[in-house]
């Protein structure tokens, strides 16, 4: 059975890149959200095995959305997506429960490595 | 019959026998046909057998009996082959392990595998497989009731350019925690939470898991470049960890002297009473004088009881150096001299680990292919001087200066103006050793910085004498007794304080007009060097009183640099009996004890280095 992923990012461009990578490697993209507000709801509806979450988004930030998802499901596998120079936010996210993070611009193999590792956990 | 009251004695005596066995075995290796050595070995094994059998410690008794038989065979024929000596040493280590089991109240470990190992090793010198794997501790049928996890040091190196390295570090620590008990790490989780750069993570983990599994899991993490394991030597070199025992031997002569002195003091008490009643002040004074002398003598004798020969910890060195030479492939000879010198047992305990580390350093880094490590001890006025020397490649002060600059520990200008003597002390700066040196030397927590700190904590000092190609001599000076030390009395913020003389290089009467300012920092010139000046009062969070024409300064050394500490006046120097400070005052940084004056007054002893560190005086700024 394919691994089910949810992609959260306010930029359609980024969501498409990630979706492409996932689909090409046999993952199933079960949901995508463009802001933190809909993220929690979509998470609970689609129950993905893994979420990629952009750190900086308008309205609700990735970290807030992360916290909400972790509160609802402490076992959630969330991987943060960040740009360079956001070390402090990445630290905050990891402290808040993110399982790992990838930094833009990312290499396809790094994304896959990270996702495989996180999904392989417990 | 209840043997438990003989337990302590059994443990300490057997330890001594094992120490002797080790020393004799190493001697035997150099002269395999020496009958006297073989005889002596036989007797030691025989003694252990007797005691163990009496105490009902069967595995220990059986093993000693086995060794005794082995040695007996060679008593007549002589000439033990080296493989047999190796086997013998293994047996001695197993005895040591059994003793640890008994000491910690565990059931004796199994000796099955060792005993059945070299059956064919008879007096005619038949040899079996020379390189047998080390003794297995537990067999399948008798599982060890409490199997202990391995503790090891893991070094995880990160990609140079990996982003958000601190967050990576936290993920690495989290992964490690899944495998067991993460005892501590460098950097630790709190440091990582504060962000900043992180090139590698060094962690100490206790785990039942296989290293291969741990390594594989860590390598899966993005940004991890390399994973290395460093065996925690503290577990494998058990021999080195034997601390000074809980019971001591006191010579009966010394005890006789106690009885005599206390007897005389009691007589004296009567004389004092009589003189006092008669109000003959001459008589009273004479009696007090005499009593004073008796008390001094009694005190001296009490301190003698606390003394143990340096031999108590150096005794195990021949075996350790032999093992180190073997594993490093070098030919290292060990020379010990003056080791019968008596040292306060608390100091002895505190100097054990540092001494072991220095010896290991000498073998690992000092001696080249062949050489000698020598340890000598002697008195130097009222201090004990222990010197660990090697005749190997030595250290080049210029290279050390360069390395320190490269590692960002000192600036170019500081390195340039540093004397050779100070340059050699750079190896004691925390963080100086490269990763490879740390893996080779020992497990966690021991490096030259720790050695220096340990020596200073005991009230001593460390000096390094070395030059390229000329070998290295590490000189450790220690006070005779931890309880009585020479202190410098100073007045500061309206109080009298004591500073241990070993912490002070010298005192200076600095004319105040020679003190100048460099920005906010007061400075002064000494021997063509410019040094920083701080105030002891301010280090104690007190007001520094207005300075007159003279700035009384104490010259101290902190982190390899000299600096001045202003006090309000010098009141003299004396021997003080230091008493430890009790809870909760002992939680204060910078106070190391107190001494009670003749009039009942309490004078606190301060640690100037700790006080300055508390104020985060960064000498390198």
**Residue A116 clears pLDDT 80, i.e. is over it:** yes
Provide the b/e sequence for B31-54 (b: ≥16 CB within 10 Å): ebebeebbebbbebbbbbbebbee
- The pLDDT of residue A51 is 95
Task: Write down the H helix ranges in B489-582.
Answer: 536-539
Identity of the residue in B163, B165, B222 whose CB atom sits nearest the CB atom of A113: B222
Q: Does A113 touch chain B (CB under 8 A)?
A: yes
Q: Single out the residue of A24, A13, A50 nearest to residue A109, CA to CA.
A: A24
Token pair in block for residue B338: 């003056």
Q: How far apart are CA B92 and CA B412, in angstroms?
A: 52
| Residue A46 or B445, more confident | A46
Cα distance between residue B176 and residue B167, in whole Å: 14
pLDDT at B247: 64
- Residue A122: closest C-alpha in chain B: B178
**Tokens in use for B126?**
């038949």
B chain contacts of residue A95, beta-carbon cutoff 8 Å: 170, 193
Please return the burial class of B434, using the count of CB atoms within 10 Å of its CB with bins 0-12, 13-18 and 19+: exposed
Q: Chain A: nearest CA to B192, how far in angstroms?
A: 9
Contact B172, B201 (CB under 8 A): yes
Query: What's the pLDDT tens digit per position in A72-110?
Result: 999 999 999 998 888 889 999 999 999 999 998 888 999
> Looking at the complex, does the CB of residue B213 fall below 8 Å from at least one CB of chain A?
no
Question: What angle, 0 to 180 degrees and rounded to 10, lies between the N-to-C axes of helices B82-103 and B7-30?
Answer: 160
Q: What is the pLDDT of residue B135?
A: 38
Interval B246-276: pLDDT, tens: 567 777 888 888 888 888 888 888 888 888 8
Q: Which of B158, B161, B165, B167 to mutate to test the interface with A (most CBs of A within 10 A)?
A: B167
A-chain CB neighbours of B195 within 8 Å are 87-88, 91
pLDDT at residue B473 in the model:
94
Q: Is A1 on the interface with B (CB under 8 A)?
A: no
Distance CA B380, CA B478 (A): 10
Q: Do A116 and B195 touch (CB under 8 A)?
A: no
Q: What was the pLDDT predicted at A65?
A: 93
**Residue A83 and residue A103 in contact, taking contact as beta carbons nearer than 8 Å:** yes
Angstrom distance (rounded) from CA B619 to CA B559: 8
Which residue is it, tokens 């206390």? B262
Residue-level pLDDT at B137: 37
CB of B436 within 8 A of CB of B426?
no
Measure Cα distances from B519 to B20, B563, B565, B613 in Å: 63, 17, 18, 21
Crossing angle of the two packed helices B448-457 and B345-361, in degrees rounded to 10: 160
A32's tokens:
């995508």
A101 and B167 in contact by Cβ < 8 A? yes
Please list the alpha-helical segments (H only) found in B279-406.
Answer: 281-305, 311-314, 317-328, 345-361, 397-406
pLDDT value of residue B235: 42
B166 vs A84, A91, A117: nearest CB: A91
Chain A residues with CB under 8 Å of B176 CB are none
A95 contacts B166? CB cut-off 8 A:
no
Q: What is the pLDDT of residue A32?
A: 93
Residue B72 CA from chain centroid, whole number: 38
DSSP state of B366: I
Rg (chain B; Cα; Å): 29
Cα-Cα-Cα-Cα dihedral sign, residues B250, B252, B253, B257:
positive
Nearest of B64, B67, B57 to residue B108 by alpha carbon: B57
Distance from chain centroid for Cα B125: 41
Which residue would you say has higher pLDDT here, B434 or A57?
A57
Complex prediction ipTM:
0.91
Cβ–Cβ contact A104 with B under 8 A: no
A-chain residues within 8 Å CB-CB of B163? Answer: 82, 84, 87, 90, 103
Integer Cα distance of B301 and B262 in angstroms: 11
Residue B563, classed as helix, strand or coil, is: strand
Q: Which residue of A has its CA nearest to B217?
A: A117
Spatial separation of the C-alpha atoms in residues B104 and A16, rounded to whole Å: 64
Note whether A91 contacts B163, CB cutoff 8 Å. Answer: no
Min Cα distance B158 → chain A (Å) is 15
Q: Give the pLDDT score at B133.
A: 36
Structure tokens at A93: 């996210």
B431 three-class SS: coil
| pLDDT score for B119 | 43
- Kindly list the residues from chain A whose CB atom is less than 8 angstroms away from the CB atom of residue B164: 82, 86-87, 90-91, 101, 103
The tokens describing B30, both together, are: 């150099």
Task: Return the closest-CA partner of residue B7 out of B59, B52, B61, B62.
Answer: B52
Residues of B with CB below 8 A from A81's CB? none
pLDDT of residue A8: 94
Residues of B in contact with A120 (CB under 8 A): 220
- Chain-chain contact of B163 with A93 (C-beta, under 8 angstroms): no
Cβ neighbours for B20, distance < 8 A, ≥ 6 positions apart: B40, B44
Alpha carbon distance B174, B189 (integer Å) = 10
A102: nearest CA partner in chain B? B222
B170 part of contact set with chain A, CB < 8 Å: yes
Measuring CA to CA, which residue among B309, B477, B317, B469 is closest to residue B390?
B469
DSSP letter, residue B434: -
| Predicted pLDDT of residue B246 | 58
Select from B222, B223, B224, B225 the residue whose CB has the most chain A CBs within 10 Å, as the one to mutate to test that interface: B222
Residue in this structure with the two tokens 């929690």, named with its chain if needed? A40
CA distance B450 to B430: 8
Tell me whether A119 touches chain B (CB under 8 Å): no
Please indicate if any CB of chain A lies within 8 Å of the CB of B163.
yes
**Residues in chain B where the model's pLDDT stays below 70:** 1-2, 118-148, 231-247, 431, 433-446, 483, 598, 616-621
Task: Give how far B167 is from chain A: nearest CA, Å.
Answer: 5
Q: Looking at chain B, which residue has its C-alpha nearest residue A112?
A: B222
B244 touches chain A (CB under 8 A): no
């Amino acid at each position: 059975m394919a691994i089910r992923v949810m992609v959260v990012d306010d930029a359609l461009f980024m969501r498409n890149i990630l979706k492409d990578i996932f689909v090409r490697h046999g993952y199933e993209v079960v949901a995508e959200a463009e802001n933190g507000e809909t993220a929690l709801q979509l998470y609970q509806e689609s129950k993905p095995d893994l979420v990629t979450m952009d750190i900086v988004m308008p309205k609700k930030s990735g970290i807030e959305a992360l916290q909400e998802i972790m509160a609802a499901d402490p076992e959630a596998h969330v991987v943060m997506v960040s740009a360079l120079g956001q070390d402090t936010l990445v630290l905050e996210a990891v402290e808040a429960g993110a399982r790992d993070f990838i930094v833009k611009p990312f290499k396809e193999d790094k994304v896959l490595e990270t996702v495989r590792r996180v999904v392989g956990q417990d | 019959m209840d043997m438990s009251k003989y337990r302590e004695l059994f443990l300490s005596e057997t330890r001594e026998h094992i120490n002797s066995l080790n020393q004799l075995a190493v001697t035997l290796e150099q002269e395999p046909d020496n009958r006297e050595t073989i005889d002596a070995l036989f007797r030691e094994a025989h003694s252990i057998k007797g005691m163990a059998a009496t105490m009902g410690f069967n595995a220990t008794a059986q093993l000693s009996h086995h060794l005794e038989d082995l040695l007996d065979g060679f008593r007549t024929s002589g000439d033990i082959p080296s493989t047999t000596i190796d086997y013998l040493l293994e047996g001695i280590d197993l005895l040591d392990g059994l003793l640890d089991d008994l000491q910690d109240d565990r059931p004796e470990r199994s000796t099955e595998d060792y005993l059945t190992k070299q059956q064919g090793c008879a007096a005619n010198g038949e040899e079996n497989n020379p390189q047998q794997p080390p003794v297995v501790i537990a067999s399948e049928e008798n599982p060890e009731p409490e199997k202990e996890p391995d503790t090891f040091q893991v070094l995880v190196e990160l990609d140079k350019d990996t982003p958000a390295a601190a967050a990576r570090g936290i993920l690495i620590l989290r992964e490690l925690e899944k495998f067991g008990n993460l005892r501590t790490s460098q950097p630790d989780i709190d440091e990582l939470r504060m962000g900043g750069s992180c090139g590698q993570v060094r962690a100490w983990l206790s785990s039942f898991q296989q290293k291969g599994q741990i390594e594989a899991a860590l390598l899966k993490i993005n940004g991890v470049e390399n994973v290395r394991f460093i065996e925690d030597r503290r577990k494998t070199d058990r021999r080195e960890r034997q601390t000074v025992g809980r019971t001591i031997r006191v010579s009966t002569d010394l005890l006789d002297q106690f009885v005599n002195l206390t007897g005389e003091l009691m007589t004296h008490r009567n004389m004092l009473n009589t003189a006092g009643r008669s109000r003959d002040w001459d008589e009273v004074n004479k009696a007090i004088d005499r009593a004073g002398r008796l008390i001094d003598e009694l005190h001296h004798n009490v301190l003698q009881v606390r003394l143990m020969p340096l031999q108590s910890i150096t005794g195990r060195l021949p075996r350790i150096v032999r093992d180190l030479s073997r594993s490093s492939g070098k030919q290292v000879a060990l020379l010990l001299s003056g080791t019968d010198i008596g040292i306060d047992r608390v100091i002895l305990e505190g100097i054990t680990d540092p001494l072991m580390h220095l010896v290991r350093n000498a073998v690992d880094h000092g001696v080249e292919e062949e050489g000698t490590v020598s340890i000598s001890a002697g008195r130097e006025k009222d201090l004990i001087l222990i010197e660990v020397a090697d005749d190997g490649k030595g250290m080049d002060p210029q290279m050390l200066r360069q390395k320190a600059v490269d590692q960002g520990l000192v600036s170019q200008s500081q390195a340039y103006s540093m004397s050779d003597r100070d340059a050699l002390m750079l190896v004691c700066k925390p963080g100086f050793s490269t990763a490879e040196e740390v893996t080779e030397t020992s497990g966690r927590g021991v490096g030259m910085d720790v050695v220096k700190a340990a020596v200073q904590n005991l009230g001593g000092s460390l000096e390094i004498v070395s030059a390229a190609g000329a070998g290295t001599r590490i000189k450790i000076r220690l006070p005779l007794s931890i309880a009585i030390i020479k202190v410098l009395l100073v007045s500061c913020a309206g109080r009298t304080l004591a500073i241990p003389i070993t912490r002070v290089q010298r005192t200076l009467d600095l004319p105040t007009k020679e003190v100048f300012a460099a920005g906010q920092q007061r400075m002064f010139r000494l021997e063509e060097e410019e040094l920083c000046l701080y105030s002891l009062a301010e280090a104690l969070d007190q007001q520094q009183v207005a300075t007159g024409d003279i700035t009384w300064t104490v010259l101290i050394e902190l982190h390899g640099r000299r600096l001045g500490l202003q006090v309000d006046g010098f009141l003299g120097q004396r021997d003080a009996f230091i008493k430890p400070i009790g809870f909760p005052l002992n939680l204060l940084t910078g106070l190391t004890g107190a001494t009670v004056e003749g009039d009942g007054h309490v004078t606190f002893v301060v640690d100037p280095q700790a006080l300055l560190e508390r104020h985060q005086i960064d000498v390198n700024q």
